[in-house]
């Protein structure tokens, strides 16, 4: 088996120009953020390619709990383009969220991205509120246990609350390099300068005295985007989120949070911002529809339930008893109907000792992978350039993250003698999967040997032998 993997890797190096399909929207393999550039663009200007290293795609520390010693009892470790330069232009980001017992990630929205959240430890109560509709502002909420996932559509106000008496941990996937954050209470009552009280009082149906009191409080949750540094090591960056203290006891804070949620119900049309590309809050996939569209037709809104945004089982180990010693649990729009049109997906990958997720690409999405258990050797190969097909690869430990640009061939190999687990975030509801060896040598019907033989510089007999071998799929895009 090892000899065959080496042979396939050699074939990929020879045939990469024919095996790789790339969506036209990116104009190059990657555009690593140049934090020192004086050029202002949408996002960041690109670092000179000759100065790019594998560390530009690497982040560490996601196995470390963040301090939740604040009034809300929560903290977020954000991995976006401001902290990981290799994410620039790739349309994906992620975060780790730590919750103290009864900790709250308060009502907020992401103006540039949908989100899929999976619970790694503990129990959460999570939900979102639809925008103004004829049916009103509907709440879709559910209790989530370890291994469960839940979807929050782009631009809609949503929250998570740890309803257990032990700490909880969750990881969020975003379909944007910079999803943005609008904490609703902060926007309404913590703006600088403040929104005039006569405007808020009328909008929220409160007295000016109450509005003035709310605006004087100092316990709101603020996001702090660190100023980009010449040295972009995350060890030199401040925390992503800062909480202001000074609001008294947790009981007083809880009462204030309840008031804030009530206000959101009254002023949700002012508190929620959504990018214009979605034409509605969500379009839950109707798997039974006979209409063929790009993606899935929408289920009737009156038939949508919280279960359409919910997935369970991500805490369960998949069977790795196959030749490659790996297995992938995909959470795409094919398996979770609420993801339809939201531009985000995720997966869990299990690796046996020395298990391999073989060279493959995702034609519709970039990927950010974080290691939950074990040690992996992971990397990607650039497309054909004047410098050749360059390999960017690194050994990843528990808590590390690594970026794979859209359409580029990449792999992960468990270099340890224990099982490993990783979670992947994608910037598409259906990232697609092209396992390079399978596409070349396992197609149905087979590619003619007289085409493959000169392409990979092998004789027809060897090509014919390879095409007769069984090729393992560790994941399939279809449900």
Binding site as annotated, residues for oxalate: 105, 110, 115
**Is 40 part of any domain?**
no
Asked whether residue 452 falls in the same domain as residue 407, the answer is yes
Stronger pLDDT, 174 or 198, i.e. the higher one: 174
How many domains in the chain?
A: 2
Q: Which residue, among 239, 234, 243, has the nearest Cα to 61 in the 3D structure? A: 234
Which of 256, 279, 302 is the C-terminal boundary of a domain? 279
Q: How confident is the model at residue 49 (pLDDT cuts 50, 70, 90)?
A: very high
175 close to 342: Cβ distance less than 8 angstroms: yes
CATH number at residue 397: 2.60.120.10
**Is 252 part of any domain?**
yes
d(CA 43, CA 336): 31
Asked whether residue 201 falls in the same domain as residue 268, the answer is yes
How much is the mean pLDDT over the chain? 82
d(CA 36, CA 30): 17
Give the range of the structural domain holding residue 359, as residue numbers without chain letter. Answer: 2-30+317-467
Q: Is the pLDDT of residue 385 over 80?
A: no
Asked whether residue 270 falls in the same domain as residue 384, the answer is no
Longest distance between any two alpha carbons in the chain, whole Å: 86
What is the value of pTM for the model shown?
0.81
Binding site as annotated, residues for Mn(2+): 108, 110, 115, 158
Asked whether residue 73 falls in the same domain as residue 6, the answer is no
Binding site as annotated, residues: 105, 108, 110, 115, 158
Tens-digit pLDDT profile for residues 78-131: 999 999 999 999 999 999 999 999 999 998 899 889 999 999 999 999 999 987
Q: What's the first-to-final CA gap in the chain, in angstroms?
A: 28
Tens-digit pLDDT profile for residues 275-294: 235 678 999 999 999 998 88
Asked whether residue 269 falls in the same domain as residue 329, the answer is no
**Is 196 part of any domain?**
yes
Residue 173 backbone dihedrals phi, psi, to 5 degrees: -110, 135
Asked whether residue 23 falls in the same domain as residue 80, the answer is no
Asked whether residue 258 falls in the same domain as residue 360, the answer is no
Q: How confident is the model at residue 215 (pLDDT cuts 50, 70, 90)?
A: confident
278 close to 121: Cβ distance less than 8 angstroms: no
């Amino acid at each position: 088996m090892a000899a065959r993997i080496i042979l396939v890797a050699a074939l990929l190096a020879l045939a990469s120009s024919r095996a790789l399909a790339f969506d036209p929207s990116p104009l190059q393999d990657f555009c690593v953020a140049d934090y020192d550039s004086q050029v202002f663009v949408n996002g960041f200007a690109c670092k000179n390619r000759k100065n790019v290293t594998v560390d530009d795609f690497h982040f560490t520390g996601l196995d470390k709990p963040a301090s939740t010693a604040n009034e809300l009892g929560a903290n977020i470790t954000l991995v976006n383009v401001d902290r990981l330069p290799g994410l620039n232009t790739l349309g994906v980001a992620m975060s780790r969220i730590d919750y103290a017992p009864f900790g709250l990630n308060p009502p907020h929205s992401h103006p540039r991205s949908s989100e899929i959240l999976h619970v790694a430890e503990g129990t959460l109560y999570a939900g979102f509120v639809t925008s103004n509709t004829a049916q009103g502002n509907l709440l879709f909420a559910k209790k989530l246990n370890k291994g469960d996932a839940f979807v929050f559509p782009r631009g809609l106000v949503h929250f998570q609350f740890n309803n257990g008496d032990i700490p909880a941990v969750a990881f969020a996937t975003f379909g944007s390099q910079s999803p943005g954050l609008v904490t609703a209470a902060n926007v309404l009552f913590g703006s600088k300068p403040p929104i005039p009280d006569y405007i808020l009082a009328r909008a929220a149906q409160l007295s000016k005295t109450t509005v003035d009191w709310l605006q004087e409080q100092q316990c709101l949750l603020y996001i702090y985007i660190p100023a980009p540094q010449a040295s972009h090591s995350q060890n030199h960056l401040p925390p992503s989120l800062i909480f202001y203290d000074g609001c008294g006891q947790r009981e007083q804070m809880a009462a204030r949070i309840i008031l804030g949620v009530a206000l959101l119900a009254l002023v949700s049309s002012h508190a929620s911002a959504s990018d214009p590309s979605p034409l509605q809050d969500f379009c839950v996939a109707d798997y039974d529809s006979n209409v063929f569209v790009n993606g899935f037709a929408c289920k009737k809104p009156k038939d949508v339930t919280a279960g359409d945004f919910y997935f369970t089982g991500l805490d369960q180990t998949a069977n790795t008893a196959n030749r490659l010693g790996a297995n992938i649990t995909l959470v795409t729009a094919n398996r979770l109907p609420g993801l339809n049109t939201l531009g985000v997906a995720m997966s869990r990958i299990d690796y046996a000792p020395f298990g391999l997720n073989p060279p493959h690409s995702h034609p519709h999405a970039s990927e950010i992978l974080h290691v939950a258990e074990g040690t992996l050797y992971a990397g990607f190969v650039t497309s054909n350039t004047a410098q050749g097909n360059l390999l960017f690869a690194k050994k990843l430990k528990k808590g590390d993250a690594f970026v794979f640009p859209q359409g580029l061939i990449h792999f992960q190999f468990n270099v340890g003698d224990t099982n490993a687990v990783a979670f992947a975030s994608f910037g598409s509801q259906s990232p697609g999967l092209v396992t390079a060896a399978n596409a070349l040598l396992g197609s149905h019907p087979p590619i003619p040997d007289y085409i493959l033989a000169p392409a990979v510089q092998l004789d027809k007999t060897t090509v014919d032998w390879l095409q007769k071998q069984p090729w393992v799929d560790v994941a399939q895009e279809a449900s």
